[in-house]
Amino acid sequence: MRAGFEIRVAVLALLALQVITALGAVVLLARTGPAVERILAENDYSLAAAEAMERAIASRADGPLAPAERDAYDAALERARENITEAAEHPVIIALGRHRDALVAGDAAARDASLDALHALSQINRASMREQDQRAKQLATGGAWAVVALAGLALFLAVLQVRRANRRLVAPIDALYAVARAVQAGNDLRRCSIVDMPVELAAVATTLNELLDARATRDAMGRRAGARLAQSGPAPDRVGLLALLDAEDHGVALLDPYGAVVAANQAGLDALGALGLPSAHLAEAAEKDAPELPPGVHVARLRDDYVRVDFGTVVPPS
């Protein structure tokens, strides 16, 4: 799997959890609000009606109610009838209606019975308010724990992603670095393992292995060439070689199998400096017969894997 895809999936998963957590908090607040509104709209309305009826009764200690108190009582009783929200309110409202005429006429027994009924109506609505309050608290507590659970899940997934990133990204990069340092220290046999690597890092490891294999092949060829040179006897006389190169009318350089300059005339040295290419590149071009060399530069393979480089007019080696 590609590392970029893994990172995108992990980030999107964490973002999705954050969105779900935020939406859960919004839903929690949205559901808590109606519970409070219901308490205010239903129970508080009935309590206000009961208090209005009690004020109307209390305004006349004995005797019949005055027209104003009677109208206030009737209006409050009608509001209570229209706002029945609890089953226990029905018999109380019926009792208030049954005692209404006697109460208005000033009957003391009807007055006491009506006050008892109003007290019962208030108690019913207060009990309902406490119940609604308890439900709202339970909803808030449950929602809060749900948000905590989602946040914990997000944290858990983040920790998993960090561990996965260490295993899939950091550890392979450390392995690549360890191989490079080992080869730098002289361990030419060290190679990268591409097991359980992302595609991008596996491509880097494969390329590094191929480069190290090519380097090992060139070193082996150089050792074989050196062995042949040692068997063939002493090296040519350097003074005579330089004299032959100076006799050329153009730049000439002689490279060993490793690409190092063995000898060159002054024009050849100037040309190498102006060319700006490593001499090892010229030796490799001789191996591959590469056509990408600059114009006027020609290479030729000599015996014992030596390479001749001519700059300008080509003089075939004898």
- Per-residue pLDDT tens over the stretch 109-135: 888 898 899 899 889 888 888 887 787
Say if pTM beats, i.e. exceeds, 0.85: no
**Residues 249 and 117 grouped into a single domain:** no
**Residues 145 and 259 grouped into a single domain:** no
171-180 mean pLDDT: 88
**Residues 130 and 33 grouped into a single domain:** yes
- Give the residue from 137, 160, 183 where a domain finishes: 160
Give the neighbor-by-neighbor strand order of the sheet with 251-255.
261-264, 251-255, 307-311, 297-301
Mean pLDDT of the chain: 79
* 128 located within any domain: yes
CB 289 within 8 A of CB 239: no
Count of Cβ atoms closer than 10 Å to residue 130 Cβ: 12
**Residues 106 and 244 grouped into a single domain:** no
Which is more confident, 226 or 254? 254
Rounded to whole angstroms, how far apart are CA atoms 317 and 255? 14
Residue 186 tokens, joined: 């002289």
Domain with 33 in it? 3-160
User: What percentage of the chain carries pLDDT values higher than 90?
Assistant: 3
Q: pLDDT value at position 75?
A: 92
Whether the predicted pLDDT of 235 surpasses 60: no
* 153 located within any domain: yes
Residue type present at position 213: D
User: pLDDT confidence of 31, banded at 50, 70, 90?
Assistant: low
Whether the predicted pLDDT of 98 surpasses 60: yes
* 289 located within any domain: yes
66-79 mean pLDDT: 89
User: pLDDT confidence of 228, banded at 50, 70, 90?
Assistant: low
User: What percentage of the chain carries pLDDT values higher than 70?
Assistant: 82
Rounded to whole angstroms, how far apart are CA atoms 172 and 193? 9
Q: Could you tell me the CA-to-CA distances from 61 to 39, 74, 103, 106, 209 in Å, in that order?
A: 33, 18, 11, 9, 107
**Residues 67 and 154 grouped into a single domain:** yes
* 26 located within any domain: yes
- Give the residue from 160, 178, 204 where a domain finishes: 160
Whether the predicted pLDDT of 249 surpasses 80: yes
**Residues 144 and 266 grouped into a single domain:** no
Residue 127 tokens, joined: 């009990």
- Give the residue from 160, 181, 213 where a domain finishes: 160
* 270 located within any domain: yes
Q: pLDDT value at position 284?
A: 74
**Residues 152 and 260 grouped into a single domain:** no
**Residues 135 and 247 grouped into a single domain:** no
Whether the predicted pLDDT of 234 surpasses 50: no
**Residues 125 and 252 grouped into a single domain:** no
**Residues 12 and 155 grouped into a single domain:** yes
* 217 located within any domain: no
Which is more confident, 152 or 24? 152
* 177 located within any domain: no
Instruction: Identify the top-confidence range among 3-12, 178-187, 236-245.
Output: 178-187
Rounded to whole angstroms, how far apart are CA atoms 296 and 281? 16
CB 246 within 8 A of CB 265: yes
Whether the predicted pLDDT of 28 surpasses 80: no
164-171 mean pLDDT: 80
**Residues 146 and 248 grouped into a single domain:** no
Q: pLDDT value at position 237?
A: 63
Whether the predicted pLDDT of 314 surpasses 50: no
Q: Which run of H or of E encompasses 36? A: helix 3-38
Q: pLDDT value at position 69?
A: 87
* 150 located within any domain: yes
Q: How many domains does the chain have?
A: 2
**Residues 250 and 155 grouped into a single domain:** no
